[in-house]
Amino acid sequence: MLLGAITTAIPWPVRAELAWNFPAPATPLALDTLQVHNKFMVITLAIFAVVFAIMIYSIFTHRKSRGVEPAKFTGPGTAAQVFWTTVPFVIFAGIDFILMGIPAFHSVQMMQDTRTDADMVIKITGSQWKWQYEYPDQGIKFVSTLATPQAQIANREKKDEHYLLEVDNPLVLPVGKKVRILLTSTDVIHTWWVPQFGVKRDAIPGFIRETWALIERPGIYRGQCAELCGRGHGFMPVVVQAVSEPDYRQWLAQKKAGQAAQAASAGHVWSRGDLMKHGEELYEKICAACHQASGQGVPGAFPALAGSKIVNGPMLDAKGLLVKDGHLDRVMNGKPATAMQAFKNTLSDVDIAGVVTFERNSFGNHMGDMVQPSQVKTLR
Amino acid sequence: MTTADVALEHGYSGHRGVTRWLFTTNHKDIGTMYLVFSLAMFFVGGAMIMLVRAELFQPGLQIMQPELFNQLIGVHALVMIFMALMPAATGFANWMIPLMIGAPDMALPRLNNWSFWLLPPAALLLLMPFALALFGIGSGAIGTGWTFYAPLSVQDGMGIDFAIFAIHLLGISSVMGSINIIVTIFNLRAPGMTFMKLPLFAWGWLITAFMLVAVIPVLAGAVTMLLADRHFGTHFFSAAGGGDPILFQHLFWFFGHPEVYIVLFPVWGVTPHILSAFARKPIYGYRAQVYAFWVIGVLSVVVWGHHIMTTGMPTGALLYFMYSTMAISLPLSVLFFCWIATIWRGAMTFEAPMLFALGMIVLFGIGGLTGLVLADAAADAQYHHSYFVVAHFHYTLFAGGIMGVMAGVYYWLPKMTGHMYSEKLAQWHFWLTAVAFNLTFMPQFFLGLAGMPRRIPDYALQFSEFNMISSIGAFVLGASQLLFLYVVVKCIRGGPPAPAKVWEGAQGLEWTLPSPPPYHTFQVQPRVE
Ligand code: HEM
Ligand SMILES: [Cu+2]
């Protein structure tokens, strides 16, 4: 098995250079932590080298095989010994509280100062296993999920350059602006981490946490969720696209137009075929992470949708209201204390209508009915 | 002669065969059981992580699904910490503390039997969900990592419930064992053995025992609250119900950080004995080491917050946890200084125990120094939950913990078995372990710096090379431990007889007894001058 693994491994792109340190910093905070890190590494390596050298010297000179007589001293008795015993103590006190302590104090202050001169605010919501990005001032929000196809993960296809670090909707931010980032979560704790920003902060359900970034250069910056958040933890990338101010304005305008069109389309009457098509795309992106592409779920962890009582049961009562614990209710409002979250917060009317319609008519389910985006809208 | 007399003659309590071990109250029998259990669990935990390293050998999902991956890393950690490292230390305590302080046995022998026999059911509880899942019951073992963070642990499968009960058993066992050790050291010391003459190993354990009694109940409380949240509709850890998810992390790490020192103190206690024996020189700075132990013990319960610096604590709390954590380097520097001063100008020889002790000092030094860097709250935002941390805590737990235990095993094995082990194979074991260990964990520092999160079953392509090196190192490291097993088993089954004083420079009461020591250790209580 080992041999097989090695031979299959050879075609991987062998990179010209290995990374020995933090990736190139893109924010003042990342630059600061890089400098702090480098300084610490020099200090600790120096300490290590000195201590190791003393040990090596002792190991080579104070051997029995060289016929040395062992000394008898037992503790800081003589003045010289007291002096030498206090030396490491004093050195470490100096390093801890002066050499490292003072710059660390300033770094912490800088890291924690999320508000002074902030130019804009974005809100990030983590959920299993996607990030929702919201621009409160602009009234837009969207969901960002892993774009790497399952076939690459299962080794059936060649992996892309940015394997596992690519998303469908990156967060787009302007360069040169201090962005205050608010974080929360809908289910479990996630952590938003972009190494090149020097930023890592937990997204905690029921609480708001904050951090900030001031991106200095345009580019695409990639990171990942850093808190174990269930089976999809390794598949929850963060991608930030930093662009110039005019490009940012243009992107905003486009995004707004797109979102308006979508809202408008919720008013139309949709055909079942269109809803199914839209629903299938969404299902694969969002629902398949737990319920599996086959709809079979994972026994014991995530219920199957194929043949499920809820999916094959009524969803609206005679008055057109939600049936409690019915299919539509479950999708819109989730099930508390489980991984099934309330999707009405993250998905649009069309999305919900599409995905519910799709689930009712796939995996061997034949309900034959559908729900219109406009119905979802009134049920919110 | 009556049967009872015969039994006494032969040195047994009257039970033979299996029941001798089941009902034994003899500190050496119990110590042996702890050590055997620990070794077995070391291989269980090791086998799990070999599977993980095989999965991480290259990018893509190869041999397992993410669920199983998460379960394996969590159970690996729980097994290694609670069932390999801690029982190894307790095994030594049972074997050696009575011998070292001149006591006939542990003070509470029946309690001692209980402390041990709670462990196998705990192991069973922890591992059983894997087997149940094979039969389609439940979704497998605990899948949240060993830290159990709520709310993930509130919604995860029944593996969590099993783990909670396992933790309870382990906790009860540890607290009972600790009480036993405290009582033994306080009451059964030979006349003349004042506290300031107590062997450092006993000191290390005494502080460990106090810490266990202080913090295990906190963990027990936390997991009980979790159990209530899972099944009885309480909301300790759910914001929607008025609780706080971060509360769990505080409770966990209030236990979890001291736990690191709990597993290390006994090892730091053994180290000076070994250094002094093989340098043929008295321990340097005995008092300084005892005081350093105390200072570290006290500091360790007030620095837990450095594990949760990214949760968004107030600035004041971050600064407090940063400076208090850095302060631990001061007493630790005293320990390192004393260790090095103990070998300074000695007449050293390099048998396996000495090699492991020296290797432990060097590698644990790397763990300690990287820990100092981690304390910086701003830089920690970069390291936290990355592979940098995984490398750091393996340098402390594997190098500082397991390698220290191995030093102790080689140091005392001839005393316990009455046979010498094969020095040549033991040396091989050391060098293989040391080299493979670095090959495994050094690349993980770089992986972390480059941005690889921990606990991910699959990774981006830029992390491929280092992961492959790390996996190869791990396979060699794992395989080398089979050599350890072989050396130990061979030594138990025979070998050149060991004299009472196995090592030329060894000091202490335990070396005044024959090897192996008689079943009932001290018939006549020794006196310490
Ligand atoms: C052959 C030796 C070992 C190898 C190759 C090894 C390797 C690993 C790996 C690859 C992980 C998973 C890291 C991640 O993805 O987050 C891990 C986790 C861990 N290991 Fe080890 N390990 C070894 C021995 C030990 C020992 C002896 C201990 C402690 C006494 C230990 C304690 C831990 C802990 C606490 C974790 C964290 C688990 C979690 O994320 O919940 N390991 N180890
Ligand atoms: Cu996550």
What share of chain A in percent tops pLDDT 90? 50
Atom 22, ligand 1: residue with shortest CA distance: B49
Name the least confident of A30-34, A277-281, B3-7, B437-441.
B3-7
The CATH class that applies to domain A266-379 reads: mainly alpha
Q: CA B275, CA B356: separation in Å to the nearest integer?
A: 10
Q: Which residue has the tokens 């030329």?
A: B504
How many C-alpha atoms does B404 have within 13 Å on its Cβ side?
32
* B430, two tokens: 């050391």
- Cβ of B468 within 8 Å of Cβ of A9? The answer is yes
Q: Which residue has the tokens 């993930």?
A: B152
For residue B177, the SS3 value is: helix
Q: Is B448 close to ligand 1, i.e. is its CB under 6 Å away?
A: no
Name the least confident of A60-74, A295-309, B384-398.
A295-309
Query: Tens digits of per-residue pLDDT, B291-340?
Result: 999 999 999 999 999 999 999 999 999 999 999 999 999 999 999 999 99
pLDDT at B4 over 80: no
Please report, as a single letter, which amino acid is at residue A192. Answer: W
Mutate to test the pocket of ligand 1, among B38, B48, B80, B459 (most ligand atoms within 8 A of CB): B80
Atom of ligand 1 nearest to the CA of B473: 5
Instruction: Give bridge partners of residue A238 from the DSSP assignment.
Output: A223
Nearest by CB to A189, which of B58, B245, B284?
B245
Query: Tens digits of per-residue pLDDT, B71-117?
Result: 999 999 999 999 999 999 999 999 999 999 999 899 999 999 999 99
User: pLDDT value at position A1?
Assistant: 37
Mutate to test the pocket of ligand 1, among B41, B76, B81, B467 (most ligand atoms within 8 A of CB): B76
> What is the CB neighbour count within 10 angstroms for residue B144?
25
For residue B497, the SS3 value is: strand
Q: How far is A228 from chain B (nearest CA, A)?
A: 6
Ligand 1 centroid to residue B77 C-alpha, Å: 6
Write out chain B residues lying below 8 Å of A289, CB-based: none
Closest C-alpha among A1, A9, A148 to residue B58: A9
Give alpha helix (H) positions in B301-328. Answer: 315-327
Please report, as a single letter, which amino acid is at residue B288. Answer: A
Query: Tens digits of per-residue pLDDT, B402-444?
Result: 999 999 999 999 999 999 999 999 999 999 999 999 999 999 9
- Cβ of A89 within 8 Å of Cβ of B136? The answer is no
CA dist A260 → A230, A255, A267, B190 (Å)? 34, 9, 11, 85
User: pLDDT value at position B13?
Assistant: 57
- Fold of the domain built from segment(s) A120-264: Immunoglobulin-like (2.60.40)
Please report, as a single letter, which amino acid is at residue A276. Answer: M
Atom of ligand 1 nearest to the CA of B390: 13
pLDDT at B364 over 60: yes
pLDDT at A9 over 80: no
Instruction: Give bridge partners of residue A143 from the DSSP assignment.
Output: A132
The secondary structure of residue B510, as a DSSP letter, is: G
pLDDT at B394 over 60: yes
User: pLDDT value at position A371?
Assistant: 87
- Cβ of B245 within 8 Å of Cβ of A206? The answer is yes
Nearest by CB to A234, which of B285, B319, B456?
B456
Q: Which residue has the tokens 């709310």?
A: B151
- Cβ of B58 within 8 Å of Cβ of A9? The answer is yes
Segments making up each domain of chain A, as ranges:
24-63+77-112, 120-264, 266-379
Give alpha helix (H) positions in B375-422. Answer: 377-383, 387-394, 403-417
Instruction: Return the top range by mean pLDDT from A11-15, A276-280, B256-260.
Output: B256-260
Q: Which residues contact A133 (CB under 8 A, 6 or more apart)?
A: A122, A123, A124, A141, A142, A143, A144, A169, A171
Q: CA B395, CA B408: separation in Å to the nearest integer?
A: 18
CATH of B28-511, one of 1.10.10.10, 3.20.20.80, 1.20.210.10, 3.30.750.24: 1.20.210.10
Question: Please, are residues B243 and B226 in contact by the beta-carbon 8 Å criterion?
Answer: no
Return the residue in B249, B309, B446, B456 with the most chain A beta carbons within 10 A, the one to mutate for interface testing.
B456
Ligand 1 centroid to residue B76 C-alpha, Å: 6
The secondary structure of residue A167, as a DSSP letter, is: B
Query: Tens digits of per-residue pLDDT, A143-159?
Result: 999 999 989 999 999 99
Element (H, E) at A250: helix A245-267
pLDDT at A240 over 90: yes
User: pLDDT value at position B524?
Assistant: 79
Question: Please, are residues A280 and A358 in contact by the beta-carbon 8 Å criterion?
Answer: yes
pLDDT at B163 over 60: yes
Query: Tens digits of per-residue pLDDT, A335-369?
Result: 876 778 888 877 888 888 888 899 898 888 888 88
Name the average pLDDT for chain A. 88
Q: CA A43, CA A58: separation in Å to the nearest integer?
A: 23
Q: Which residue has the tokens 């450095």?
A: B306
Which residue from A minimizes the CA distance to B284? A74
Write out chain B residues lying below 8 Å of A222, CB-based: 460
Q: CA B237, CA B342: separation in Å to the nearest integer?
A: 49
How many C-alpha atoms does A357 have within 13 Å on its Cβ side?
25
Element (H, E) at A5: helix A2-9
User: pLDDT value at position A7?
Assistant: 40
Query: Tens digits of per-residue pLDDT, B31-65?
Result: 999 999 999 999 999 999 999 999 999 999 999 99
Burial code (b: 16+ CB inside 10 Å, e: under 16) for B384-414 equals: bbbbbbbbbbbbbbbbbbbbbbbbbbbbbbb
Mean pLDDT score, A366-380: 85
* B72, two tokens: 């394996």
- Cβ of B465 within 8 Å of Cβ of A231? The answer is no
Q: Which residue has the tokens 């319609």?
A: A357
Atom 9, ligand 1: residue with shortest CA distance: B49
Q: Is B385 close to ligand 1, i.e. is its CB under 6 Å away?
A: no
User: pLDDT value at position A273?
Assistant: 86
For residue B242, the SS3 value is: coil
Q: CA B176, CA B170: separation in Å to the nearest integer?
A: 10
Q: CA B164, CA B150: separation in Å to the nearest integer?
A: 13
Q: CA B94, CA B109: separation in Å to the nearest integer?
A: 10
User: pLDDT value at position A21?
Assistant: 85
pLDDT at A136 over 50: yes
Element (H, E) at A89: helix A79-94
What share of chain B in percent tops pLDDT 70? 97
> What is the CB neighbour count within 10 angstroms for residue A367?
16
B-proximal residues of A, 203-232, CB under 8 Å: 204-207, 209-210, 222-232
pLDDT band of B128, cuts 50, 70, 90 = very high
Q: Is A156 on the interface with B (CB under 8 A)?
A: no
CA dist B73 → A98, A228, A368, B38, B525 (Å)? 38, 11, 44, 18, 48
Size of interface A-B (CB pairs under 8 A): 333
Mean pLDDT score, A301-319: 85
Q: Which residue has the tokens 């392509």?
A: B461
Proximal ligand: closest to the CA of A238? 2
- Cβ of A188 within 8 Å of Cβ of B155? The answer is yes
pLDDT band of A314, cuts 50, 70, 90 = confident
Mean pLDDT score, A222-231: 95
Question: Please, are residues A272 and A357 in contact by the beta-carbon 8 Å criterion?
Answer: yes
Q: Which residues contact A232 (CB under 8 A, 6 or more apart)?
A: A128, A129, A289, A290, B66
- Cβ of A108 within 8 Å of Cβ of B358? The answer is no
> What is the CB neighbour count within 10 angstroms for residue B11?
10
Q: Which residues contact B476 (CB under 8 A, 6 or more apart)?
A: B432, B435, B436, B439
User: pLDDT value at position A337?
Assistant: 66
Mean pLDDT score, A75-91: 84
Please report, as a single letter, which amino acid is at residue B480. Answer: S
Question: Please, are residues B52 and B69 in contact by the beta-carbon 8 Å criterion?
Answer: yes
Write out chain A residues lying below 8 Å of B450, CB-based: 19, 21-23, 195
CATH of A24-63+77-112, one of 1.25.40, 1.10.287, 1.10.3470, 2.60.40: 1.10.287
Element (H, E) at A213: strand A209-214
Proximal ligand: closest to the CA of B404? 1
Element (H, E) at A252: helix A245-267
- Cβ of A37 within 8 Å of Cβ of B140? The answer is no
User: pLDDT value at position B5?
Assistant: 39
Query: Tens digits of per-residue pLDDT, B44-53?
Result: 999 999 999 9
Segments making up each domain of chain B, as ranges:
28-511
Please report, as a single letter, which amino acid is at residue B347. Answer: A
pLDDT at B456 over 80: yes
Please report, as a single letter, which amino acid is at residue A362. Answer: S
The secondary structure of residue B61, as a DSSP letter, is: -
Name the average pLDDT for chain B. 93
User: pLDDT value at position B19?
Assistant: 82
**Predicted TM-score (pTM) above 0.95:** no
* Domain A120-264 identical in fold to domain A266-379: no
What share of chain B in percent tops pLDDT 90? 88
For residue A316, the SS3 value is: strand
Q: CA B150, CA B308: separation in Å to the nearest integer?
A: 13
Q: Is B466 on the interface with A (CB under 8 A)?
A: yes
**How buried is residue B440: exposed, middle or buried, by Cβ count under 10 Å (0-12/13-18/19+)?**
buried
Q: How far is A192 from chain B (nearest CA, A)?
A: 10
